[in-house]
């Protein structure tokens, strides 16, 4: 009986040792697997960290180039200097956003891509602002030359040029000098209306019921947005303005003198390039010969072209 009990105890001990070894192996396997998985995660994280040194150098180079380009326009005009300051402040805001992303020596690949996107955006606004500044600077230089010409000719047409000089002196104190609209691709055609209401272009004076003038107003970020009056002045073969009060003709002031216009049209200007079409109803038969179409807006002649009716 005692021998039987000893066998039973040995069997129990053996089973206990086997179970203990199995649990030990399982725990060891778990720790080994967890070790390799943790090591792999650390490796992936390390691979995702990339150097931002090259992008930081790109930013520094871009800011230095921009500063040099902006310096070329400084000191020419007080309003231009103010405009330069505003645009430079905007560019610096973009630069600060990029510097925040690049503050660490190494960043993730996603953060680096975001910094590069911001850098591309900075380049875009740099080109846009420099274009606006160059346009405004060109206008100011042109106005200064125009004022010098007026001073030279003041002895010949004293009263007329004195008034014009005063107008330009007032305008020179505003950035709005650069707001003069510019027309491009101006085209004039005669129009005969069909019975169905459709237009038929014609060069025959006897068939012309309307004069159609089309042109493009160029992009201008200096000019204010909003409603602007466009005056069309058609000068006939005899040198007189073609005038029909019933068709909307009237008078406007140009160079401090009252002048006739054939018709006018109001447009909504949004600073971007836009197509404009102006119609003038003849009312009475037109004469054959060479005509001239002139476009005026806000005290400036902004376009002119010749056309002929046969």
pLDDT digits (tens, 9 = 90+) for 92-116: 887 787 777 777 666 677 777 777 7
Domain end (from 132, 149, 166): 149
Residues 10 and 104 in one domain: no
Q: How many domains does the chain have?
A: 3
Residues 45 and 60 in one domain: no
Give 209-221 pLDDT, tens digit per residue: 899 999 999 999 8
Give 222-281 pLDDT, tens digit per residue: 888 999 999 999 999 999 999 888 888 999 999 888 999 999 999 999 999 999 999 998
Residues 142 and 257 in one domain: no
Tell me the C-alpha distance between 104 and 49, whole Å: 11
Residues 199 and 136 in one domain: no
Residues 46 and 61 in one domain: no
Give 144-168 pLDDT, tens digit per residue: 676 777 677 666 666 666 666 666 6
Residues 199 and 272 in one domain: yes
Reported in sequence order, the residue ranges of the chain that DSSP labels E, i.e. its strands, are 49-51, 106-108, 183-193, 199-202, 210-217, 226-235, 250-254, 257-261, 263-269, 274-281, 289-297, 300-309
Evaluate whether residue 157 is within a structural domain: no
Residues 195 and 267 in one domain: yes
Residue 283: count other Cβ atoms within 10 Å of its Cβ.
Answer: 15
Percent of the chain with pLDDT over 70: 69
Evaluate whether residue 165 is within a structural domain: no
Q: Please state the separation of Cα 242 from the chain's center in Å.
A: 39
**Is residue 55 packed enough to be buried (19+ CB in 10 Å), middle (13-18) or exposed (0-12)?**
buried
Q: What domain range is 296 assigned to?
A: 180-309
**Is residue 136 packed enough to be buried (19+ CB in 10 Å), middle (13-18) or exposed (0-12)?**
buried
């Amino acid at each position: 009986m005692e021998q039987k009990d000893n066998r039973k105890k040995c069997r129990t001990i053996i089973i206990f040792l086997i179970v203990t070894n199995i649990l030990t192996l399982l725990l060891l396997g778990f720790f080994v697997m967890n070790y390799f998985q943790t090591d792999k995660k650390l490796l992936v994280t390390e691979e995702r960290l990339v150097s931002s040194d090259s992008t930081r150098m790109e930013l520094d180079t871009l800011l230095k180039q921009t500063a040099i380009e902006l310096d070329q326009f400084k000191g020419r005009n007080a309003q231009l200097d103010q405009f330069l300051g505003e645009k430079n402040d905007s560019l610096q805001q973009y630069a600060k956003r990029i510097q925040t992303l690049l503050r660490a020596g190494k960043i993730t690949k996603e953060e680096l891509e975001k910094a590069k996107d911001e850098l591309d955006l900075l380049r875009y606004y740099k080109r846009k602002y420099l274009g606006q500044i160059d346009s405004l600077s060109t206008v100011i230089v042109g106005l200064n030359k125009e004022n010098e010409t007026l001073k030279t000719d003041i002895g010949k047409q004293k009263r007329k040029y004195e008034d014009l000089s005063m107008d330009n002196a007032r305008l020179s104190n505003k950035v709005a000098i650069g707001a003069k609209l510019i027309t491009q691709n101006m085209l004039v055609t005669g129009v005969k209306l069909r019975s169905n209401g459709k237009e038929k272009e014609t060069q025959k004076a006897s068939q012309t019921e309307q004069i159609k003038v089309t042109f493009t107003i160029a992009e201008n970020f200096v000019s204010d947005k909003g409603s602007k009056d466009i005056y069309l002045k058609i000068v006939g073969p005899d040198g007189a303005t073609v005038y029909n009060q019933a068709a909307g003709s009237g008078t406007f002031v140009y160079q401090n003198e009252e002048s006739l216009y054939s018709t006018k049209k109001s447009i909504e200007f949004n600073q971007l390039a836009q197509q404009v079409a102006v119609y003038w109803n003849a009312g009475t038969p037109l004469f054959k010969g060479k005509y001239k179409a002139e476009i005026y807006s806000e005290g400036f002649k902004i376009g002119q072209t010749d056309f002929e009716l046969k």
